[in-house]
């Protein structure tokens, strides 16, 4: 009656589902090493008893802003353990979108028994000062998606938090990290910008294909059964997500590939990720760029022959070299009884395919210092689907 539920929990491929969650915090942040160093430099004073730091982190969706702040807070607490008592709280200002709710949330995270209602803003801030003094701790406050609060309540709370040590004994009790997709410095008053420090703005760009590959490889290593994936399939997934620069997209694609692999397990199929697992069927979905298989219909015969050679190899392998292309192109020309085009012309075809986003290329160093070679892949299409359409079209193109 319930055989269809047998796959749940079986874990032929997925060993640790938690790792595939967008909000899972990795033991080590990958693909953002230079940005981590820049953020740390803005908090170098934290090693001193009265030091504090400030940072404004901006960047597009999926660029790792939140996990950058989360891992920094975790790591700095460990790094300064025994030297200074550092605590951190994070408030998502999309959920707590007024200054009053933000302060209430900070106090609740520090002291779950603190009353949430009936206190003015001044009384809440006084409670926060007393709490920090009593515990002799340094607090890092992270305000994620802070633009939501700024639109509703303005920046007065930021000014108050930045002045929290004024007229009090001691100093350096609080650091502040603001996170936003928008350039929040443009909407802050001069007094707030002066205290935050315009030089403390940290711009984070979208991930490169290499950065996305590092993320997918880390998640695969910690979340999948050993031997169920290869570095090549991880690279293909990263290239499929590369045009977005979005870490969430590469995690989503990896998770989707795992789900497809799990679905086809019946005791006879391969228990590892394959090319078909990376792509959705072409008749139900198209790539994010809006492309479909009709993209190739206007190609001339010889570009089609070159592309057919590429597809035949990439049906069974994740990557191939340009040298492989020419060898297989020769075989295809012999099959269709046509004369090959020159090396330069084949290269032009490949560049056109890349412009159309039919293929992706990357240059890698050959082992032993023997030079560099170009590797080709097809991250946005299932190669066998394109090959089938090409074979149909070539029957009309070549008579």
Inform me whether the pLDDT recorded for 388 exceeds 50.
yes
pLDDT band at 286 (very low <50, low <70, confident <90, very high): very low
CA gap 242, 250 in Å, rounded: 8
The domains of the chain, with CATH numbers, are 32-203 (3.40.50.300), 207-278 (1.10.8.60), 293-397 (1.10.10.10)
Pick the residue with more confidence: 262 or 169? 262
Give strand pairing partners of 375.
321, 362
For 380, the token pair is 């946005």
For 382, the token pair is 């299932």
Max CA pair span of the chain: 90
Centroid of chain to Cα 250: 6
Inform me whether the pLDDT recorded for 307 exceeds 70.
yes
CA gap 286, 121 in Å, rounded: 51
What is the average pLDDT across 232-253? 96
What is the average pLDDT across 172-193? 89
Do 307 and 381 touch, CB atoms closer than 8 A?
A: no
pTM as predicted? 0.85
CA gap 130, 149 in Å, rounded: 25
Torsion angle, alpha carbons of 177, 179, 183, 189, to 10: -40
- Return the pLDDT at 8: 56
pLDDT band at 327 (very low <50, low <70, confident <90, very high): very high
Distances (CA, A) of 7 to 104, 259, 261, 367: 44, 10, 11, 42
Do 319 and 237 touch, CB atoms closer than 8 A?
A: no
- Return the pLDDT at 168: 62
């Amino acid at each position: 009656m319930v055989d269809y539920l047998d796959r749940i929990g079986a874990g032929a491929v997925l060993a640790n589902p938690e790792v595939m969650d967008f909000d899972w915090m990795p033991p080590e942040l990958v693909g953002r090493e230079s940005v981590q160093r820049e953020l740390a430099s803005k908090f170098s004073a934290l090693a001193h008893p009265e030091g504090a730091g400030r940072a404004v982190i901006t960047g597009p969706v999926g660029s790792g802003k939140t996990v950058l702040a989360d891992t920094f807070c975790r790591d700095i607490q460990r790094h300064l353990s025994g030297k200074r008592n550092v605590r951190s709280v994070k408030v998502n200002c999309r959920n707590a979108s007024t200054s009053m709710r933000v302060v209430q949330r900070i106090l609740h995270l520090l002291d779950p028994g603190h009353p949430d209602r009936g206190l003015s803003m001044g009384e809440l801030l006084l409670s926060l000062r007393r709490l920090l003094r009593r515990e002799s701790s340094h607090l890092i406050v992270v305000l994620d998606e802070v633009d939501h609060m700024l639109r509703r309540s303005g920046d007065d709370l930021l000014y108050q938090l930045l002045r929290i040590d004024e007229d009090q004994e001691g100093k350096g009790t609080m650091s502040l990290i603001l996170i936003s997709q928008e350039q929040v410095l443009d909407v802050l008053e001069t007094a707030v910008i002066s205290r935050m420090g315009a030089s403390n703005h940290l711009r984070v760009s979208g991930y490169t294909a290499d950065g996305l590959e590092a993320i997918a490889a880390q998640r695969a290593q910690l979340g999948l059964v050993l031997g169920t994936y290869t570095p090549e399939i991880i690279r293909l997934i990263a290239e499929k997500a590369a045009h977005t620069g979005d870490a969430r997209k590469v995690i989503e694609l990896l998770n989707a590939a795992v789900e497809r692999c799990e679905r086809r397990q019946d005791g006879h199929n391969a228990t590892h990720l394959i090319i078909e697992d990376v792509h959705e069927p072409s008749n139900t979905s198209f790539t994010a760029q809006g492309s479909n298989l009709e993209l190739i219909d206007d190609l001339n015969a010889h570009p089609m022959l070159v592309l057919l050679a590429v597809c035949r190899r990439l049906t069974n392998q994740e990557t191939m070299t340009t040298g492989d292309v020419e060898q297989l192109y020769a075989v295809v020309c012999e099959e269709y009884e046509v004369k090959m085009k020159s090396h330069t012309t084949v290269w032009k075809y490949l560049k056109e395919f890349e412009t159309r986003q039919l293929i992706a290329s990357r240059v890698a160093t050959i082992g032993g210092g023997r030079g560099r070679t170009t590797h080709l892949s097809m991250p946005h299409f299932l190669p066998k689907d394109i090959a089938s359409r090409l074979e149909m079209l070539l029957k009309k193109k070549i008579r």
